[in-house]
Amino acid sequence: MRKERNPSQLEALWKERDMAEGTPVDAMVMIMRTNGCCWAKTGGCTMCGYREASMKDVTEGDLLRQLEQAMGAYKGEPFVKIYTSGSFLDGNEVPETVRERILDSFSGCRRILFESRPEFVTQDSVSSLPKNVTVSLGLESSDPEILRTSIRKGFTPEDSRRAGHTVKGAGLDVRTYLLLKPPFLTESAAIEDTVASARFADPFSDEISINPLNIQRATCVERLWRRGEFRSPWIWSLIEVLARLSGEVDARLMSSPSGGGTQRGAHNCGKCDREALEAVERFSLSQDPKDLEVGCECREAWKHYMLAERLLGTPADLERGFGNDLTIRK
């Protein structure tokens, strides 16, 4: 039985390291409970488990009590990230008066970040925001067909581009999220898709955050995964994407893979996962491609995996069908 969730309590709060104004700083991350993403209520994106997490009837009073809880834990971190599992700019999730209270509470921070779907980004909604704000946009992919059929995002890449330029036009920063390996794509197609998407996002993004797909509960992707029709991406694929984009795009590249090193998240052979994820973390702060240099014999297995996918013409989880010996013998 699911535990009752209190609408006046934060979903989660933790501290981590991130960048603000070009330097690594302490960051506080707070996940607020709201009435949930408007798109999740219509079924949502294929990889998103937030429909399960959505609540009903969260009041302004509840949101303000969540803010109090956050202020109680706040120790002056220069960077504060406010996530709502939806859109901070959606008045149905966070009414404007509450939004202003939250932003005022952190007005002394060097940087505040929140997420929004592009339909809530308008000249009106962003022009009054304080200048320490970064708006995160979940572009996921710049391929309209992938966005429509594989991710079911409910907006187009052009919508994100418009939103990105609107945010930049208001003098604020943009962090763009890309989804590495949406369902139905092979590993190599996923790499190409993310590289192309980063090039698309670069002109309107200060940062590009690459999120390898992490299989969440009660999602379409989880059903595919249970049937052996999906393997979450290799960490090698993430490293490949970052290495190819490094020096090519102006935006800062970063990745902090949720569920990394587990079967549901980005993973390699198990032996090198930690080292590979640490390399990604180092690169995200340094932007130095040398930090991505990691060695393990499973790198060859990854290459064979991609070749086998191409030969068989399937994005199914080949490791499940054939074990980890996918050596293509000539």
Find which of ligand SF4, Zn ion, none residue 138 binds, CB within 5 to 8 Å per kind: ligand SF4
| Least distance from ligand SF4 to the Cβ atom of residue 243, Å | 27
Cα–Cα distance, 153 to 157 (Å, whole number): 10
Smallest CA-to-CA distance from 143 within 98, 182, 188 is with 182
Q: How far is CA 324 from CA 217, 239, 240, 264, in A?
A: 25, 20, 20, 17
Binding mask 96-125 for ligand SF4 (x = CB under 6 A): ---------------------x--------
Check residue 44 for interaction with ligand SF4 (CB under 6 A): yes
Q: Of 79-98, which residues contact ligand SF4 (CB under 6 A)?
A: 85-86
The strand pair at 79-83 and 12-20 is best described as unpaired
Q: Which does 272 bind (CB under 5 to 8 A by kind): ligand SF4, Zn ion, none?
A: Zn ion
Q: Which of 20, 27, 31, 45 binds ligand SF4 (CB under 6 A)?
A: 45
| 298: partner contacted, choices ligand SF4, Zn ion, none (Cβ within 5-8 A by kind) | Zn ion
Q: Which does 50 bind (CB under 5 to 8 A by kind): ligand SF4, Zn ion, none?
A: ligand SF4
Q: Whose CA is closest to 172, among 199, 142, 136? A: 136
Q: How far is CA 314 from CA 42, 232, 299, in A?
A: 29, 14, 20
d(CA 170, CA 231): 40
Nearer to Zn ion, 35 or 268 (CB): 268
Q: Which C-beta is closer to Zn ion: that of 29 or that of 298?
A: 298
139 vs 39, 116, 117, 176, 204, CA distance in Å? 14, 10, 9, 6, 11
- 83, 30 Cβ separation under 8 angstroms: yes
296 binds, among Zn ion, ligand SF4, none (CB under 5 to 8 A by kind): Zn ion
Per partner kind, with CB cut-offs from 5 to 8 A, the member of ligand SF4, Zn ion, none near residue 268 is Zn ion
**What letter does residue 294 receive in the DSSP assignment?**
-
Q: State the residues that interact with ligand SF4 by CB under 6 A.
A: 37, 39-40, 44-45, 48, 50, 85-86, 117, 138
Q: State the residues that interact with Zn ion by CB under 5 A.
A: 268-269, 271-272, 296, 298
